[in-house]
């Protein structure tokens, strides 16, 4: 069974590493980490993730909403936004996204798995299991 690939875009390194560790333990393949919108775009185009975890605030002049807008022009990807201040997300800017969710920090692993499963079902849940 192919592991689903996850791109994490987070400007706080400790948060990115904690999230990457949790997702790896859950059985996902975590791609190299990004902290800017441009890094996120390059990684998304080169590695074809199954889902993107995007912090709203990023290093550099572009925020996570701008990064997702650019990525989703070229790839139809589900996105889970990470934010410490959910009330400050302008959901009008998300109108063109077909599959997204918002998780508040600190991130709970149960919520994490639930949100991923809402946006992309695990292969084991979508395909018949092969007899051993």
Element (H, E) at 82: strand 79-83
SS3 33: coil
Token digits of residue 17? 């590493």
Q: What is the largest CA-CA distance in the chain?
A: 52
CB 81 within 8 A of CB 100: yes
Beta pairing partners, 51: 6
Task: List residues bridging with 126 in a β-sheet.
Answer: none
Domain range annotation of the chain: 5-124
Interval 20-77: pLDDT, tens: 999 999 999 999 999 999 999 999 999 999 999 999 899 999 999 899 989 989 998 9
pLDDT recorded at residue 123: 54
Q: In 3-state terms, what secondary structure has residue 28?
A: coil
Please confirm whether the linkage preceding 106 is cis (ω < 30° from 0).
yes
Per-chain mean pLDDT for the chain = 86
What's the residue count for the chain?
132
| More confidently predicted of 73 and 92 | 73
Cα(11)–Cα(3) distance, integer angstroms: 25
* Domain 5-124 bears CATH identifier 1.10.10.60: no
Per-residue pLDDT of 23-37, as tens digits, reads: 999 999 999 999 999
């Amino acid at each position: 069974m192919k592991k689903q690939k996850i791109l994490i875009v987070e400007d706080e390194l400790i948060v990115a590493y904690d999230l990457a560790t949790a997702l790896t333990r859950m059985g996902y393949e975590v791609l190299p980490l990004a902290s800017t919108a441009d890094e996120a775009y390059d990684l998304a185009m080169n590695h074809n993730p199954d889902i993107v975890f995007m912090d709203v605030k990023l290093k550099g002049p572009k925020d996570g909403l701008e990064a997702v807008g650019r990525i989703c022009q070229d790839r139809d990807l589900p996105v889970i936004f990470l934010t410490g201040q959910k009330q400050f997300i302008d959901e009008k800017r998300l109108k063109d996204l077909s599959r997204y969710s918002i998780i508040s920090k600190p991130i709970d692993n149960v919520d994490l798995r639930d949100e991923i499963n809402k946006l992309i079902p695990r292969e084991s849940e979508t395909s018949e299991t092969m007899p051993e």
